[in-house]
Amino acid sequence: MLRGRNRKLKLEKETMEYLLITRRVIAALLLLILSACSQTIKKTQAERYLQDVEFIAQMPRTPGSEHHVKVQSMCAERFKTLGFKLEYHDYGTGINILGVYPGKQQSKGRILVSAHYDSVPGCNGADDNASGLAGVFETARLLVSKQHDRTLVVACWDEEERGRRGSKSYVEREKNTLAAIKMSYVYEMIAYKNKQPNSQKIPVGFEYLYPQQVKQIRSNQNRGDFIALVYDDRAGNMLSTITAKADKHNLSVLQFEISTQLKNSALAVDLRRSDHASFWDADYPAVMITDTANFRNPHYHCLNGEDEVGTIDTGFAIQTINVLTAIIEASLAE
Residue 39 lies in a domain: no
Q: Is residue 196 part of a domain?
A: yes
Distance CA 83, CA 140 (A): 10
Confidence at residue 44, expressed as pLDDT on a 0 to 100 scale: 87
In-domain check, residue 3: no
How far CA 146 is from CA of 82, 103, 142, 157, 324, in Å, comes to 12, 10, 9, 25, 17
Q: What is the per-residue pLDDT for 2?
A: 45
Residues of the chain with pLDDT under 70: 1-43
Domain count, the chain: 1
Q: Which of 188, 143, 145, 193 is nearest to 278 (CA)?
A: 188
Cα 199 from chain centroid (whole Å): 23
Q: What pLDDT sits at residue 236?
A: 94
Identify whether 11 is part of a domain: no
Is 36 part of any domain? Answer: no
State pLDDT tens for residues 45-87.
Answer: 999 999 999 999 999 999 999 999 999 999 999 999 999 999 9
Whole-number pLDDT of residue 106: 87
CATH number of the domain bearing residue 257: 3.40.630.10
Q: Examine residue 184 and state whether it is found in any structural domain, yes or no.
A: yes
CA distance 82 to 98: 12
Q: What is the pLDDT of residue 24?
A: 58
Beta bridge partners of 116: 157
Could you give the CA distance from residue 295 to residue 291 in angstroms, rounded to a whole number? Answer: 9
Q: How much is the pLDDT for 32?
A: 41
DSSP state letters, 58-110 = TS---TTSHHHHHHHHHHHHHHHHHTPEEEEEE-SS-EEEEEEE--S-GGG-E
The DSSP secondary-structure symbol of 127 reads I
Q: Is 176 part of a structural domain of the chain? A: yes
> Does residue 93 lie in a domain region?
yes
How confident is the model at residue 9, as a pLDDT?
A: 54
Q: Domain range spanning residue 246? A: 45-331
